[in-house]
Structure 1
Amino acid sequence: MWRAFGIAILAALLATAAAAQDAATMKKDMVGQWELSTTERSKTCVVTLSSEPAPQGLKLTLEPDCANSLPFTKAIAAWDVKGLDILRFETAEGGLVIDFTEVESGIFEGHRDGEGIYILQNLVAARSLAKSMEQMIGDWTMVRGNGRQVCGLTLTNTEAGPDNFQAFLKPRCDPQVVSFGPTMWRLEHGAMLLVAPNGATWRFEADDNAQWRRVPDSTDPLIMLRQ
């Protein structure tokens, strides 16, 4: 019995040590510049995370316009890692402002009640995404795998709600596309989503031929091409 008890204690100590090591590694990896934004990046803020200790957690710096873009950032005074993998922004007293969890390599999501989802990602990657969004704006053609055109549409940078931008179908689209009736679009974790008024989505991912193919793929694929 005592042997089993000793093994249990050793396992608990090893787990605690591993958790501490994981948290220390995450703290090291997070040091640098990050972009905090709404999901559609209409409001952004640059946050610089430091390894220097603060009265609560570690120091950070917010760019001057953060409070205007994202008012809740006024309360942020420090950052820390909680548990194994939760990035936390805290008040000067150590209170919670927002928690982030990694949903994709280098991309973190956090939620604030009554406000919605916020994204935190590496500043260089975020600016690359902004460039990608600019490249998406304009006229597109939707075709089948055999090259038959089924619809033309225009993606704009006009906001349409908290997460999306306006999209417009051109005349004489295929009945399937008309029935779906997308009126909005957005980029989400590297994919392009067309969104209907009822919330239904078609998801497209870039392939090796610089085309955007609807996923999941099929024997008669739907492909979007830039005009």
Structure 2
Amino acid sequence: MRLRRLLPVLGLLAWTGGAAAQEAGTARDTAGPWELALEGSFRRCGLMLAAEPGPVGQALRFPAGCRRALPVVNGIAGWRFEGGLIQLLDREGQPVLAFAGPDGEGIRSAESGSGERYSLAQAGARPAAPETPLVTQAALSTLPSAREASRDSWAGAPATAAAVTGLYTLDRFVEKDVCRVMLRADAAQVQEGCRDPGLALFDPTAWHYEAGRLTLVARRGHSVELIPVGEGRWRRDPEIGTTFVLRRVEP
């Protein structure tokens, strides 16, 4: 008789334990590198959703430059996975951004209290590069004005795209040679051993040079423009977030 009374209780405990294990398993699957972006802009930041506990929820890490590129991260102290949502938490453990389930491309979306919309995409879960060019011919034929092309540009900018090809290293404000990128005639490729999560998440696969401006194109299609600032050196334009300088090096 006593055993019969205990059976419903044991069943409830098993169900709640299984649900907790499933939730924990999902959280473990969620941990890893992600990319946070402000929709409608080029502002983005690489986030590391860590598996270990943090000050609130689970630990969250990001490069220092994110504080300028995406000020919303200044109020984020951790993260948690709850009810199918990835929540970025403030210091009190309250959600600053709550990202619902991904859309067809695996990208989650959330709205801040101020009405800004942000997207969150997992590194490595991006769609394969399309067979069609990531930069359309119409985009390539729309050249900047002479004033825009010359603004802050180095007078000795390469005359042709062929002169831009080669191996480059990424220099940050404090660290140098944190990631290397090979610009070939038909593609761009991040080299093995890259220690910069931002560039690894951006994952450039194509590039274009026109009118003194170098454009790196990510696998997902968005791009970053750079202007020449010296012999074999390129700086992101506009200069937002942490220092982003490509410097030519010998293979």
The TM-score with structure 1 as length reference comes to: 0.50
| Distance (whole Å) between structure 1 residues aligned to residue 19 and residue 141 of structure 2 | 45
Aligned length in residues: 142
Deviation at 1:49, TM superposition (A): 1.2
Q: Which amino acid aligns with 2:99?
A: F
1:107 aligns with 2:107: yes
Residues 78-227 of structure 1 aligned to structure 2 (within 5 Å):
78-83=78-83, 85-104=84-103, 106-125=106-125, 135-139=134-138
| Distance (whole Å) between structure 2 residues aligned to residue 70 and residue 30 of structure 1 | 22
- Report the equivalent of 1:169: none
| Distance (whole Å) between structure 2 residues aligned to residue 64 and residue 49 of structure 1 | 15
Residue deviations 1:136-183, cap 9 Å, x none?
43339xxxxxxxxxxxxx99799xxxxxxxxxxxxxxxxxxxxxxxxx
| Distance (whole Å) between structure 2 residues aligned to residue 12 and residue 67 of structure 1 | 45
Query: Would you say the 8 A contact 2:55–2:77 is kept in 1?
Result: no
Aligned CA-pair RMSD? 3.8
Q: Which amino acid aligns with 1:102?
A: G
Query: Would you say the 8 A contact 2:46–2:62 is kept in 1?
Result: yes
Residue deviations 1:24-78, cap 9 Å, x none?
1121112211100123452101101111111311111111121212111101111
Deviation at 1:18, TM superposition (A): 3.4
Query: Would you say the 8 A contact 2:110–2:117 is kept in 1?
Result: yes
Residue deviations 1:86-121, cap 9 Å, x none?
111112221221111112364222121333321111
Identical counterparts, % of pairs: 25
Sort the Cα spacing of 1:132 and 1:24 in 2 relative to 1 into closer, same or farther, 3 A.
farther
Q: Which amino acid aligns with 1:90?
A: L
Instruction: Give 3-state SS (helix, strand or coil) of 1:103's partner.
Output: coil
Sort the Cα spacing of 1:10 and 1:32 in 2 relative to 1 into closer, same or farther, 3 A.
same
- Report the equivalent of 2:58: 58
| Distance (whole Å) between structure 1 residues aligned to residue 97 and residue 85 of structure 2 | 10
| Distance (whole Å) between structure 2 residues aligned to residue 34 and residue 57 of structure 1 | 17
| Distance (whole Å) between structure 2 residues aligned to residue 94 and residue 118 of structure 1 | 19
- Report the equivalent of 2:28: 28
Sort the Cα spacing of 1:47 and 1:92 in 2 relative to 1 into closer, same or farther, 3 A.
same
Q: 4+ runs of 1 displaced by more than 4 Å? A: 4-12, 125-129, 131-134, 154-158
Identify unmatched segments of 5+ residues in structure 1: 141-153, 159-189, 191-227
Instruction: Give 3-state SS (helix, strand or coil) of 1:139's partner.
Output: helix
Instruction: Give 3-state SS (helix, strand or coil) of 1:46's partner.
Output: strand
| Distance (whole Å) between structure 1 residues aligned to residue 56 and residue 143 of structure 2 | 40
Query: Would you say the 8 A contact 1:38–1:118 is kept in 2?
Result: yes
1:45 aligns with 2:42: no
Q: Which has the higher contact order (CA 8 A, sep 6+)?
A: 2
The TM-score with structure 2 as length reference comes to: 0.46
